[in-house]
């Protein structure tokens, strides 16, 4: 397996400044060279197996090409080259909702509906809790109970999975006690 000196030097130039500083040590340079050789050997083996024609490899190659094109186009676009930090900050502030999303939680629960004035835990909830027993950490056991006993139409079919919701959405749908129990403040 041949790795030419100019390939090795190019690899070193393409690394980060910290990475380049580490390459002064002969042992580290040798490790880098060994990694390059191992990569090339694995690449050859992948080609022998025909993985270049694999659908996923082709899809990733296309994505990589589009990313390169976008970088190439943006590098040559004078509007992008002339952007200042203040321009970027202003754009970010104007589009804050695109970048900052509220925290979302995903819970698994079994809901037992009861009259609003009921204080006690429904007996079926106690029975289901006892059925969980030592299997409480097994998602399949909890899912089976949720599918069989939950009064929540939305999560019952998915084994008690609420899907991703903000704290406000959870509180609106299930009440503040559920949000508190989930550890969301």
Per-residue pLDDT tens over the stretch 55-95? 999 999 999 999 999 888 888 888 887 888 999 899 999 99
Over residues 137-148, mean pLDDT: 83
Report pTM.
0.47
Phi, psi (deg, nearest 5) at residue 137: -85, -5
Residues 157-184 pLDDT 10s: 999 999 999 999 999 998 898 889 888 5
Identify the pLDDT of residue 121.
77
The residues, ordered by sequence, that sit 6+ positions from 80 with a Cβ below 8 Å of its Cβ are 74
Region 86-107: mean pLDDT is: 90
4: tokens are 């030419």
| Paired tokens of 95 | 């589009």
* DSSP code at position 144: H
């Amino acid at each position: 397996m041949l790795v030419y000196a100019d390939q090795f030097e190019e690899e070193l130039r393409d690394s980060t400044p910290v990475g380049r500083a580490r390459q002064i040590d002969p042992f580290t340079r040798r490790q880098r060279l060994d990694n390059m050789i191992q990569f090339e050997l694995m690449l050859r083996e992948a080609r022998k197996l025909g993985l270049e024609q694999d659908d996923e490899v082709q899809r990733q190659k296309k994505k990589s090409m589009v990313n390169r094109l976008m970088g190439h186009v943006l590098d040559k676009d004078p509007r992008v080259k002339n952007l200042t930090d203040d321009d970027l900050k202003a754009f970010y502030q104007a589009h804050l909702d695109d970048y900052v999303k509220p925290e979302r939680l995903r819970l698994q629960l079994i809901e037992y509906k009861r009259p609003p004035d009921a204080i006690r835990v429904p007996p079926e909830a106690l029975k289901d809790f006892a059925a969980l027993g030592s299997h409480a950490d097994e998602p399949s056991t909890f899912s089976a109970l949720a599918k069989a006993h939950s009064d929540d139409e939305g999560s019952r079919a998915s084994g008690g999975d609420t899907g991703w919701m903000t704290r406000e959405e959870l509180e609106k749908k299930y009440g503040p006690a559920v949000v508190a129990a989930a550890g969301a403040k």
